[in-house]
Amino acid sequence: MSTRVEHMLDALQAAFPDNQSIALSLDLVVMDVAPDQLIETAHKLHDDPALSFKQLSDLCGVDYATYGRDEWSTDTENMASFSRAVNASSVGSLTFNTGMELPQTDQPRFVVASHLLSLDHNVRMRLRCAATDDNMPVVPSLTPVWSNADWYEREAFDLFGILFDGHSDLRRLLTDYGFTGHPFRKDFPLIGNVEMRYDSVKERVVYEPVSIEPRVLVPRVIREDSRYSAGETPKKNDA
């Protein structure tokens, strides 16, 4: 397995000498591509016999808005710890609809991650493409290269609001007809915004603001763990 991946790493570095991001991550090769080079890169990944990624296994959006933020400080001992389940430190976790601003970072917020599979070489790779504009994320569509990107992109559009340039039929896929918002964004509350029920007086289904109380039983905690020292992922055998 490992030698196959290393071969592919070399092949990818040879095929894309300008791309500095190609690296090994666990058991597959990861590559970052800018949106304007995505289609060209994808065609090459698909057609080049040394790469031959004939199948798109998966494509999904990731929202990095609150990446690395926890709800409980673990590096300082303080008296406020007991209030960890009451006072929120990030969006959409403990309290909802409070108008809390998302943290400002210079990292791109939306990334489209695709998993490709090469049957000839029996390796996988991850192709990551970050949308440049956070307010209107646009990424070129991969449908000309892999047909099954169609529904995956519709799903990513539906759940994250990422627009796919060149997609022929970008409709919502999973959410209800007439749904507003993009539910998998980090600023979308877990409990949603509206609830629906059948109103026997009006004799139709009515939508109302949510009435349930959100609560979090286990706060989100990030612990410094010496076993996982910066960026290193542990090897299989040294437990």
Partner 1 sequence: MPEIRNYTLNFGPQHPAAHGVLRLVLEMDGEVVERADPHIGLLHRGTEKLAESKPYNQSIGYMDRLDYVSMMCNEHGYVLAIEKLLGVEVPLRAQYIRVMFDEITRILNHLMWLGAHGLDIGAMSIFLYCFREREDLMDCYEAVSGARLHATYYRPGGVARDLPDRMPQYESSRFTSKSAASKLNETRQGSMLDFIEDFVQRFPKCVDEYETLLTDNRIWKQRTVGIGVVTPERALQLGFTGPMLRGSNIEWDLRKKQPYEVYDQLDFDIPVGTNGDSYDRYLVRIEEMRQSNRIIKQCIDWLRVNDGPVLTEDHKIAPPKRGDMKGDMESLIHHFKLFTEGFCLPEGESYAAVEHPKGEFGCFLVSDGANKPYRLKVRAAGFPHLAALDEMARGHMLSDVVALIGTQDIVFGEIDR
206 touching partner 1, by CB under 8 A: no
In one-letter notation, the amino acid at residue 55 is Q
Q: Which of these, 87, 56, 57, lies nearest to 72 by C-alpha position?
A: 87
Q: Which stretch binds partner 1 (CB under 8 A): 15-23, 66-74, 99-107, 204-212?
A: 66-74
Pairing between β-strand 23-25 and β-strand 110-118 as defined by DSSP bridges: unpaired
User: Under rule CB under 8 A, which residues in 74-113 are in contact with partner 1?
Assistant: 93, 113
User: Roughly how many angstroms between the first and final C-alpha of the chain, as a whole number?
Assistant: 21
32 touching partner 1, by CB under 8 A: no
Do residues 208 and 197 touch, judged by C-beta distance below 8 A? Answer: yes
Those residues with Cβ within 8 angstroms of residue 100's Cβ, 6 or more apart along the chain or in another chain = 88, 91
Neighbours of 226 (CB within 10 A): 5
User: Under rule CB under 8 A, which residues in 158-187 are in contact with partner 1?
Assistant: 172-176, 183-184
The residue (of 38 and 65) whose beta carbon lies closer to partner 1 is 65
Q: Which residue has the tokens 């991946």?
A: 5
Token pair belonging to 61: 């959006």
DSSP annotation of 227? G
Least distance from partner 1 to the Cβ atom of residue 115, Å: 6
Q: Which of these, 14, 15, 35, 192, lies nearest to 129 by C-alpha position?
A: 35
Q: Which of these, 147, 145, 170, 148, lies nearest to 157 by C-alpha position?
A: 170
Least distance from partner 1 to the Cβ atom of residue 201, Å: 26
The residue (of 17 and 178) whose beta carbon lies closer to partner 1 is 178
Among 17, 18, 26, 213, binds partner 1 (CB under 8 A): 26
Among 14, 23, 25, 195, binds partner 1 (CB under 8 A): 25
Among 32, 151, 193, 210, binds partner 1 (CB under 8 A): 151
202 touching partner 1, by CB under 8 A: no
Least distance from partner 1 to the Cβ atom of residue 228, Å: 3
Tell me which residues touch partner 1 (CB under 8 A): 1, 25-28, 30, 54-58, 60, 62-63, 67-68, 70, 93, 113, 115, 119, 122, 124, 126, 146-148, 150-152, 172-176, 183-184, 190, 216, 218, 220-223, 225, 227-228, 231-239
